[in-house]
């Protein structure tokens, strides 16, 4: 498929994902600081695990241009970009402080069972499946934050959650730096790997890549639904 067709196909998959019952539940939970803290701790685990997953893709991929693009992506996530001089984990730690979490509570967070299961699954996918499948599985998760794609549905995950934190807890953008960053940064990240899907996800690999992308979205639903379930156990 050409880039335009990949964009349309993956985009429709993400739009279906954002309308799923699991995501509706995730965005319906009324937020207070203890509930928000659950999201911060689980998101910190997700973000750190992404680094391992992207490293798996790079290690399995023989294409230098893709390795370079992954390094560009990871430099912005781990080292610095326009949103942080210390990487995006620093933004999560700062956001955690807004809901009463000490930095060590964010760094030492324990995964929910659903978080643990999905992180194991993403780790296996990016390690054991072909690098083309793994690339599709990872890149589609960036699309879940793309307001260009999801604006008419209320925005991507980060934008919609930012609105909830503002409406339910009266927070400002300054208090939610991780959500602010990912409401913008992942638009760029959504586009980064489309040329490589066009070039390398061809023939039989095309259907395998699409299958892996859908499986990744399914895992993302489980991850978000697990957070919502844990939040619902906390009284307002």
Q: 3-class DSSP state for residue 84?
A: strand
What pLDDT does 98 receive?
Answer: 93
What pLDDT does 82 receive?
Answer: 59
pTM exceeding 0.85: yes
Mean pLDDT of 180-199: 76
Q: Domain spanning 3-231: which superfamily?
A: Heme oxygenase-like (1.20.910.10)
* Residue scoring higher pLDDT (22 or 94): 22
CA angle 157, 96, 175 (to 5 degrees): 70
Which of the four pLDDT bands, split at 50, 70 and 90, describes residue 169? very high
Which of the four pLDDT bands, split at 50, 70 and 90, describes residue 81? low
| 2 and 205 Cβ atoms separated by less than 8 Å | no
Q: Is the pLDDT of residue 184 over 70?
A: no
Render pLDDT for 122-164 as a digit per residue (tens, 0 to 9): 999 999 999 999 999 999 999 999 999 999 999 999 999 999 9
What pLDDT does 189 receive?
Answer: 61
> In the chain, what are the domain boundaries?
3-231
| 38 and 98 Cβ atoms separated by less than 8 Å | no
The residues facing 81 across adjacent strands are 84
Q: Which of 22-26, 189-193, 196-200, 217-221 has the lowest mean pLDDT?
A: 189-193
What pLDDT does 78 receive?
Answer: 76
């Amino acid at each position: 498929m050409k880039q335009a067709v990949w964009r349309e196909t993956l985009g429709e998959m993400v739009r279906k994902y954002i309308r799923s019952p699991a995501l509706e539940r995730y965005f319906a939970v009324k937020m207070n600081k203890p509930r928000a803290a659950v999201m911060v701790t689980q998101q910190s685990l997700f973000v750190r695990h992404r680094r391992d997953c992207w490293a798996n893709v790079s290690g399995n991929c023989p294409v230098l241009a893709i390795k370079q693009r992954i390094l560009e992506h990871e430099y912005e996530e781990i080292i610095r970009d326009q949103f942080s001089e210390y990487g995006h984990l620093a933004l999560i730690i700062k956001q955690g402080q807004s809901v009463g979490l000490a930095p060590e509570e964010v760094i030492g967070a324990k995964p929910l069972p659903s978080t643990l299961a999905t992180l194991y699954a993403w780790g296996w996918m990016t390690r054991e499946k072909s690098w083309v499948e793994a690339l599709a599985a990872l890149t589609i998760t960036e699309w879940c934050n793309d307001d260009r794609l999801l604006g008419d549905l209320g925005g991507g995950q980060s934008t919609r959650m930012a609105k909830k934190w503002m409406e339910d807890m009266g927070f400002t953008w300054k208090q939610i730096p991780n959500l602010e960053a990912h409401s913008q940064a992942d638009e760029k990240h959504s586009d980064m790997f489309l040329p490589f899907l066009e070039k390398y996800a061809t023939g039989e690999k095309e259907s395998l890549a699409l299958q892996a992308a859908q499986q990744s979205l399914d895992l993302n639903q489980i991850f978000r639904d697990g957070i919502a379930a844990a939040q619902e156990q906390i009284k307002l």
